[in-house]
Structure formats: structure tokens, C-alpha cells
Amino acid sequence: MRTVRRIRAAALAAALLCTAGIAAASPPAPDIQLASSAQLVLQGSIHRRDIVLHVTRAAGGAPIEGAGNLTAQLGGRAVPVAARGTSYVLSTRGFKGGPEVLQVIVAHDGIHELLSATVRLPKPPDRLAALEKHGYAAWWVLNIVVLLLAARLIMRRKKPTPRAP
């Protein structure tokens, strides 16, 4: 029974070591100006699969914040917008990489203002490429687990009892 626990612990430790680098966080890209009008400036950055937007007033730079003040369309489709402090987060899940037209409607001072820009979305992550990038670590983990299981089966094999003549 101890052998089974050791094998499981070794397999789990190897899997954790191999996948630790796959989920490493990447720093967010710096904000760039996407669009502007006489009253507003729209800045944004792409972080993983989200677009983070900041809307400020052109005069003074005061942020426009609060849920419901901003709605957005990406590539002609409405996208969910989450207000987080002075920024807004748009999810790009379901979109393929490449250039898309971003249209943002901002409600402020009793008016609605449309800001439009073109953003280049990153390609969705390819799981096979992540494995190749890490040197087929998962393949080696699988090989080690199979060898440990084979060794366990060989150790548990019963010796045949000699037959009496």
C-alpha cells in the first residue's frame, strides 16, 4: 500500500513541476490611446483574453467610471463589460486573433458618445504549442508514471507454486 502512495505522490509532484511554467502570468501591456473626441479620451491595453479600457475626460483627465456608463461592441457583436474601479474590462473569449473594430458608447453628462477604434486581438492559446514550448514535459511525466506502474505490477506478481509430482 505504501508503494501505491509513493507512486501517486511522485506522479503528482512531477505533473505539478511540469505544468508550473504553463500558467505563468504575463504582465499587462501598456495603455495606448485608441480613440478620442472633443470631450473624451479612450485608452486601452490587452491582457491575456481581455481588453482593459480607461475612459478619461480630455480636459483635466478625470476618469469616467461606474457600471452602466460604458457599452461596447467588438466586430459588430455586443461584448460584456465589467466596471472595475476606474477601468472597464471587456472579454474577448470567442474571438479569433486579428484586427477587430471596437465601438464604445460612453454615457456622461447626460449625453452618449461613440468612440471607435481598431484593435488587434491575440490568437487564442494553443495547448499543443504550450506543451512543445515546455519540452514535452507532460510526455515525460506520462512515461515515468507508466514505468512506475509497470514496476509495481512486476513486484506484485506472485511466484508460481511448485507442483508436486
C-alpha distances out from residue 86 to 38, 54, 163, Å: 20, 7, 84
**Where are the chain's structural domains?**
2-22+134-156, 32-121
Query: If the chain, 165 residues long, is cut into consecutive pieces of 10 residues, what is the mean pLDDT of each piece?
Result: 67 60 55 88 87 91 84 91 89 85 91 91 72 69 87 79 72
Q: What is the pLDDT at residue 67?
A: 77
The reported pTM is 0.59
- Of 123, 94, 109, the closest CA to residue 64 belongs to 109
Q: What pLDDT sits at residue 53?
A: 92
Architecture of domain 32-121: Sandwich (2.60)
Cα–Cα distance measured from residue 44 to residue 48, given in angstroms and rounded to the nearest whole number: 13
